[in-house]
Chains A and B, each alone.
Chain A
Amino acid sequence: MSVAQVRRLLRVALIQDLWWIDYEWWRPEPVSRMYFKIVLTDGSTVTVFRDLLNGGWYKQNY
C-alpha cells in the first residue's frame, strides 16, 4: 500500500496500530472511522484513517 505524501509516493512498511471510533450515531452526521498508525518505507510514522461511511482515506493532523 502507498500513501501519497507531498510530491512523493511511499509504501507502507508496517501497520503499527489500528483503532476504530464509532460515535454520534444520534446526530445527523455520525462518525465512524478506522485509524491506522503506519510506518512508511522511509521510516516516518503517519496516522491515517478511513471514513467508514464515505469510504474516503484521510491523513490525521495532530
Chain B
Amino acid sequence: MSAPYVELHCHSNYSFKEGASFISELLQRASELDYPALALTDHNNLCGAMEFADSASLFGIQPIAGVELDIMGGHHLTLLAESRQGYANISNLVSFAYMKADRLAPELDPRFLADHAEGTILLTGCRKGKLPSLVADGKMDEAEEVLRDYLNWFGVSNVFVELQQNLWHGDTERNRALVDLAHRVGVGYVATGNVHYHIQGRHRLHQALTAIQHNKRLDDIDYNILKPNPMFYLKHRDEMAVFFESLPAAISNTTMIAERCSFNVSKDLNYQFPDYPVPEGYTPQTYLEKICHDAALRRYGTINDKVRTRLDEEFRLIGKHNLAGFFLIYYEIIQMARDVMIDLGLSDPEIPLEERPPGRGRGSSVSMLVGYLIELSHIDPLMYDLSFERFIQEDMVSVPDIDLDFPRNIRAELIKRVHAHWGWERAALTGMISTYQTKGAVRDLGKVLGLPQDDIDAVAKRSESSSAKNLANELAANPKFRDRLDAPVWRELIELAYQLDGFPKYLAQHPGGMIISSTPLIDVVPVRPSAIADRYIMDWDKNSIDTLGAVKIDFLALGALSQMQEALILIEQRTGHYPDLSRVDGEDSAVYDMLHRGDTIGLFQVESPAQRQTITSIRPKNLTEMAWEVGAVRPGVGANDGVSQFIKRLKGEPWDYDHPLESRALERTFGVILYQDQPLQLAVDVAGFTASEADQLRRTFGRRNNESALAAYWDRFRDGAATNGVNEETAAKVFGKFNPHYMFPEAHAFAFGVTAYHMAWLKYYYPLEFYVGIFNQHPMGSYSLESLKQDAKRRGVYVLNPDINHSVAKASVKDESVLLGLSHVFGVGAEAAESVRQARDAAGPFLDLGDAMRRTGLRRLELERLTLAGAFDSMVSSRKEGLWEIGLRYRPASPQKSLDLPVQDEMVSLRPETDWEHMTQEYQTLGLYPSGHYMEAIRHIFGPEVLPTHEIGQLADGTRVVTAGIKISFQRPLGKMVFITL
C-alpha cells in the first residue's frame, strides 16, 4: 500500500462555472479513497468553506480551508489556512481582490501578500501560476526571483512548489524544472491534483462549464483553455504514487501540510457577538434590562408577575448566550430607522416610537418580550401566549434571524445608513447562491453544445419542472422533441443537465439580510461590492451564517407597509387623526365578516386565490385564528394535506394523536402541523432531541444532497422515540410529518396575521385611503390595477381618470375618489409629472390644452398619451380633437422660442369617441378602464349557457359550468389543484 495522500488543491462547484462536483460528492469520494483530510480551494471565494467544514465530520475527513486566487497579471496562486490568523488573512486577501479591482474580474495586487502571510501556507499554483509559467517559458532567473519573494514574505517552511501531473502536455517537463528550482533554492515541493471533479465521469460537464464561463461554444473555444482530459479527479494514493514514484517527498508533504492545517472553519472561528458601547455605570446586559423595564412601565403601566417572570427568564438566557450587545444593536437600528422616518417627514421627534414604529418584526424573534419592548416587534407575546423557545433556547447553538419589515422608502435609506455607520468591513449583506434549474441549464448547455437557438428557447420556455434532472421526461412529453432523446448532442444535453441540476451558478445578494459585527467581518468571511452601488455582500449565504452562529438581521421591504404608511398619513390629512393600529380591536366582527366572504382582494397575505378559498372555511374570528389562516396556506402544510385536514377538524371531525406525546406540539392546532415550530417540538417530545438538535434536523431537510444525513437522523429519531416508549411504526408516522417545504414559524404567522388584519381593518373603515395606498405601491400583490379598481367600486370607492389640473405624479384623493396620478399613464415618468406640478404651482391651473403645452414643455408622446388617458377631458370636446390640436401646436424643444400662433381656424370638428373607443384608449394608456368594465361591453355576445360569475356561487359543489372572463390569476400549489380567478 502506498503512502497516504491528501489532496490540497481541489475545486467544488462553488468555483462557479468551473468546478463540476458538489462538496458532498467530493467528501464522499475522499472518504472512499481513505483520505485523512481534504483541502477546498475554490476560485476567488470562500463561499463553500463553512458548508465544507461543517459536512466534513460526517465523512470522517479533516477539512482544510483554502483558496485559489487570481493575482494581477492573470496568474493563479494557492493558499491554505494553517491557523485562525491564516484563515483571516486569506479572507482579507479575497476581499481585497474584489474591492481594489473590478468586482466582476477580481485580482489581487501581490503587494498585499507580504502583510497577510502569517498562518498561511503558499503553494505556487497550477500551470497558470506565475512561477510555473516562467519555468515553462524557460525564464529560470525570473522564476527564482519570484520564489525568493514568496520565501521572504511567507518563510521557507510555509512555501511549497506545487507539482501537478494530469497527463497534460508539458506537465512532465515543467515538473522536472520546478523540482530543480526547488532544490536549488532549498524549498519543499508537494504534489497536487488540480482537482475539478470527484470522478472522471464529470470531465465533460467540467469542459462544458468552462465554455459557459467563457461564453463560447465548445466548437469555438481555444483548446488551451479547456482542460484536455479527464485526469482532474480525486485520485487514489496508488495512482498518485505512480506519478510521483521518483519524488516520494511530494506525496509525504501532503500529509505533513495537512497535519499542520488544523484550523476548522466550523469549529474554530469563535464568532463573537458584537459589543455595544453603553453609558457609564452599565454593562450591555444591565443597559438592555433598563431599556426594557422603562418600556414595560410605559406599555403595561406596571410590571406584574407575568411580565416579571417572563422578563427574568429572557434576560437569563440573553445573559447566558451573551446576546445583550446584539439586542442593543437592533435597538440602535430601530432608532436609526425612526430618524429616517423623521427625515422623510413621516414622523416627528415628539411622537413616541411605539405610536409610529418605522417597521415591524416578523419571524421567531417576534416571540420575545424583550423584542416587543425595544420595538423590534409589534406583537405582545404575552397576549398571544407565544413561547420564546423558537428563538432562544437553553442549549442553543445558533440564533435564528431577526427579520424587520420596513416600507420601501425607509428600508432603502436605512441600509445605506447602516453601511455608512459601521463601514463595509463590519456591516455586509448576506449572499445568496443562485442555482441551476431546468431553464438555466438548458439555455447555458444548449448554447455551448451548439444547439439551434429556436430549439433551446422552445425547450426552456415550455419546461414545467424546476429540476433539470427531469429534462428527459420533459422532452419525451413534447411531440417536437420526443424523438431526439437518443440523438447526438441532445443526449449529451440531457446527461449534462442531469448532472448540473442544483449547481451554484453565481453569488447574488440576499434581499435584505445583513450581519453587523464590531470586529472586522472580513476576518470571518470575504466581502465584495454588490451589483447595487454602495452595497456590500459576503461570500456566505443564510445556511453558512446559521452554522457560524451569527445573528442575521433581515431588512426587508414590504409593499404592504408602504401602503399602510401612506394610508395612515392620508387619513390623518383628511380627518386630523392618525389611527394607532396597535390599539384597534382585534376581534371586530365587521372586519371578520368581510374576510369570511372572501372579500380579500388587495389584502396582504390573504388575497391569493388559495387564501381566498381557505379563509371562507377557516373563518378566523381573532388574531390567533388569523395566524392559522396565514400559516395554513404554505407548501409545507399542504404537502401533508394539512390544510384540508385542519379545516375538517376545525368543523368538528373527530381526531386523535398518533401518540399522546404529540399533544404539547399539536394541541392548539387540532393535531395538524401548521407551523415550522411544531415538528421541532415533536422531535423534542417524541424522540428526546434537544431544541437545537431539532432545529438542525429542520435545516437538514431543506439542504441539497441530504439523503445520507437524513438517514442518520431517522436512526436517532427512531432510537430516541423507543426510549420514550414509542414503537417504530408510530415513530415513522411522526418522522414522516417532517418535510422540506416551507412553513412559517408560529410567531411569524402571528406577525403577518396581525398585519393582514390591520390592512383589512383599513380596507373596511378607510377604503378610500386604502385604495390610494395600494394604487401607489403597485405592482404589488396578486391583482392588476383593473381588478383593484373593480374591487374599490364594490366598496363604493371610484377611480377617476388623471386630470392635468389636479393630478400629481401618484394617485391622490379627490372628491372622495381615487384620482389617478399622471405617472399612471404609460410613458409619463416622474420628471414629466413634476414639470406639470411646478407649472401649476408657479402660475395656477391650466386654462386650456395650449396653455398646458406652453407651460409644461411635455413631449409629444406624453401629451398624446395623457390625452388618450383622459387627462385633458375637461378642456377638449373630444380626445380626437385634443390630438388634432397637439399636432397643430407641438414644436420640439429648441433653443429658439417658437411663435405661439392661433390655431382656431385650423381646428376641425370630429365625431366624439364611443365608449368602446374610450375603453380601448384607457386600457392602452393606463392598463385600466376607470369608468367601466370590458365585460359590460362584450357580455352581449355570449349565449345563455355562459354563466356570469356571480351566479356560479349559488350552484352545488361539483357542478360543471361554462363561464367567461379574463384570467386575473392562476395558482397550482404543489400541482394538486388549480385556482383560477377571473
Contacts and interface: CB of A to CB of B under 8 A. Distances in A.
A55 B218 CA distance: 25
Interface stretch (B132-140, B226-234, B320-328): B226-234
Contacts of A26: 218-219, 449-450, 489, 492
B729 interface: no
B668 interface: no
Interface residues of A, number: 14
A57 interface: no
B488 interface: yes
A17 B172 contact: yes
Interface string B200-240: 00011001000000000011000100101111000000000
Contacts of B231: 20
B229 A21 contact: yes
B169 to A, nearest CB: 4
A19 interface: yes
A52 to B, nearest CB: 10
Interface in A3-24: 16-23
B102 interface: no
Interface in B146-192: 167-173
Contact of A20 (B204, B219, B228): B228
Interface string B362-393: 00000000000000000000000000000000
B168 A19 contact: yes
Contacts of B203: 22
Interface SS of A by simple majority = strand
A9 B203 CA distance: 38
B375 to A, nearest CB: 60
A56 interface: no
Nearest to B230: A22
Which of the listed residues A17, A19, A23, A27 has the most CB atoms from chain B within 10 Å of its own CB?
Answer: A19
Which of the listed residues A16, A21, A22 has the most CB atoms from chain B within 10 Å of its own CB?
Answer: A22
Contacts of A18: 167, 172
Contacts of B492: 25-26
Contact of A19 (B226, B228, B230): B228
A53 to B, nearest CB: 14
Contact of A22 (B172, B219, B228, B450): B228
A28 interface: yes
A32 to B, nearest CB: 8
B167 A19 contact: yes
A35 B168 CA distance: 10
B484 to A, nearest CB: 15
Nearest to B176: A17
Contacts of B226: 23
A17 B173 contact: yes
Contacts of A35: 169
Nearest to B448: A26
A31 to B, nearest CB: 10
Contact of B229 (A16, A20, A27, A28): A20
A28 B488 contact: yes
A18 B170 CA distance: 9
A15 to B, nearest CB: 10
A25 B171 contact: no
A23 B228 contact: yes
B193 to A, nearest CB: 15
A17 to B, nearest CB: 4
Contacts of A20: 167, 228-229, 231
Contacts of A22: 203, 228-230
Nearest to B493: A26
Which of the listed residues A16, A23, A26, A35 has the most CB atoms from chain B within 10 Å of its own CB?
Answer: A26
A16 B171 CA distance: 12
A28 B172 CA distance: 32
A60 to B, nearest CB: 11
B223 A23 contact: yes
Contacts of B218: 26
Nearest to A21: B228
Nearest to A47: B169
A17 B167 CA distance: 9
Contacts of B488: 28
Interface string A28-62: 10000011000000000000000000000000000
Nearest to A25: B204
A19 B227 CA distance: 12
B801 to A, nearest CB: 59
A26 B203 CA distance: 13
Interface string B439-461: 00000000001100000000000
Contacts of A28: 488
A21 B203 CA distance: 12
Contacts of B219: 26-27
A21 B489 CA distance: 20
A25 B488 CA distance: 10
Contacts of B167: 18-20, 34
A61 to B, nearest CB: 16
B171 A19 contact: yes
A26 B228 CA distance: 14
A17 B170 CA distance: 9
Nearest to B450: A26
A16 B169 CA distance: 12
Nearest to A24: B218
A18 B449 CA distance: 29
A19 B488 CA distance: 28
A18 to B, nearest CB: 6
A23 to B, nearest CB: 7
Interface string B98-129: 00000000000000000000000000000000
Nearest to A18: B167
A44 B450 CA distance: 43
Given A20-B229, A26-B218, A26-B450, 14 more contacts: A16-B172, A18-B167, A19-B168, A19-B169, A19-B229, A20-B231, A21-B229, A22-B228, A23-B207, A25-B492, A26-B449, A27-B219, A34-B167, A35-B169
24 contacts: A17-B169, A17-B172, A18-B167, A19-B167, A19-B168, A19-B169, A19-B171, A19-B228, A19-B229, A20-B228, A20-B231, A21-B228, A22-B228, A22-B229, A22-B230, A23-B226, A23-B228, A25-B204, A25-B492, A26-B450, A26-B489, A26-B492, A28-B488, A35-B169
Interface of A: 16-23, 25-28, 34-35
